[in-house]
Amino acid sequence: MQEPQLNSLYQQLILEHYRNPRNKGEMDDPQVEVHMRNPSCGDEIKLQLRVERGRIADVRFTGQGCSISQAAVSMMTQVLKDKPLDEVAPVVERFTEMMHGDQEAARDRSMGDLRALAGVSRFPVRVKCALLGFDALQEALKTLGDSSTEN
């Protein structure tokens, strides 16, 4: 197998998100807030969501960690904003496929900037970095689902 290349991992777009993260900060009135930590490395993310009329009206994050974990969550928030709730789970699924090396997922336009992370799949030990934000998102969706069932 050909050696994975560093420039396929550290795409300019990733470094750009790392330096200038989108939707970073905290909102005053989150509907759901999830704190996710990768215990093996210490990376952490706090993700906040607010849903209005079945859409993600606002999404914010704070956190610290490596370029991959922080860029991935920044890109994720970009894709999530204004998305109908029922289109969120497919994004998570698509991204997970991408992390397992699915080339088709890597070309899916609906994935936005997240496509730049396709190269991470060649660095298996870094896949968990890219998934940290998505783990938080899944937890958030679960919480939202639970609260809507209660209602």
Partner 1 sequence: MASSAGSGQPTRAPALDPHSIREDFPALHQDVHGRPLVYLDNAATTQKPVAVLDAVQDFYRRDNANVHRGIHELSRRATEAYEGARGKVAAWVGATDPGEIVWTRGTTDGINLVASAWGMDHVREGDEILLSVLEHHSNLVPWQLLARRKGARIRYIEIDDHGEWILDDLPDLLSDRTRMVSLSHVSNSLGTINPVEEVVRQVRHRTDAVVLLDGAQGAPLLPVDVQALGADFYAFSGHKMCGPTGIGALWGRRERLEAMEPYQGGGEMISLVERDASTWADIPHKFEAGTPNMAGAVGMGAAVEYLSKVGRDGILAWEQELVRYALDRLADVPGITIYGPQSVERRSGVVPFTLDAAHPHDISTIVDMHGVAIRAGHHCAQLVMRRYGTAATARASFYIYNTRDDVDRLVESLGEVLEIFG
Name the token pair of 9.
Answer: 């991992």
CB of 123 to partner 1, least distance (A): 6
Q: At residue 76, what are phi and psi to the nearest 5 degrees? A: -65, -45
CB of 1 to partner 1, least distance (A): 12
9 touches partner 1 by CB under 8 A? yes
Among 38-46, 73-81, 85-93, 134-142, which window interacts with partner 1 (CB under 8 A)? 38-46
DSSP class per residue in the chain? -PPP-HHHHS-HHHHHHHHS-TTBS--SS-SEEEEEE-TTT--EEEEEEEEETTEEEEEEEEEE--HHHHHHHHHHHHHHTT-BGGGHHHHHHHHHHHHTT-HHHHH-GGGGGGGGGGGGGGSGGGHHHHHHHHHHHHHHHHHHHHHHHH-
- The residue within the footprint of partner 1, chosen from 41, 57, 92, 141 (CB under 8 A), is 41
CB of 41 to partner 1, least distance (A): 5
129 touches partner 1 by CB under 8 A? yes
CA dist 103 and 47 (Å) reads 28
Site mask for partner 1 (CB under 8 A), range 54-83, x = bound: ----------xxxxx---------------
CB of 150 to partner 1, least distance (A): 34
Among 36-44, 53-61, 92-100, 104-112, which window interacts with partner 1 (CB under 8 A)? 36-44
For binding to partner 1 (CB under 8 A), which residues are involved? 3-4, 6, 9-10, 15, 40-44, 64-68, 123, 125-126, 129
